[in-house]
Structure 1
């Protein structure tokens, strides 16, 4: 598998943390020197390893926010 180059431009926040220290984070990341996008995924404590995640454009993030704002979370 080819190396994936990434640069975390901004850490927006941590959504959760596992007992092993991995954190699910929302970050603004440039992948392979391309324009940065918003990204949600699990990261090891030193950011040397990552889990599968979802990368979103600004438009997709706005759509997600609209969907979340419209949800009834009183389960």
Structure 2
């Protein structure tokens, strides 16, 4: 495999990985907040459910496993 073919395969793999389905609404969107357990939630659903998933605006709690995840703003 040539170097350029390797790069294009890598980019294609990354493109496929970007689109994911929201666990709440089922929409396939380019960005979802993800937990380590596999739970994913789109930005719109996160905004609607923010009051129940975050107490400080810095972290959010996964409703499936209870794990804490960061928003990346610190």
Question: Does the alignment reach a TM-score above 0.5?
Answer: no
Higher helix share: 2
What is the TM-score of this pair, normalised by structure 2?
0.29
Q: Identify which of structures 1 and 2 has the higher relative contact order when contacts are C-alpha pairs closer than 8 Å and 6+ apart.
A: 1
What is the TM-score of this pair, normalised by structure 1?
0.29
Q: Based on CA coordinates, which of the two structures has the bigger radius of gyration? A: 2
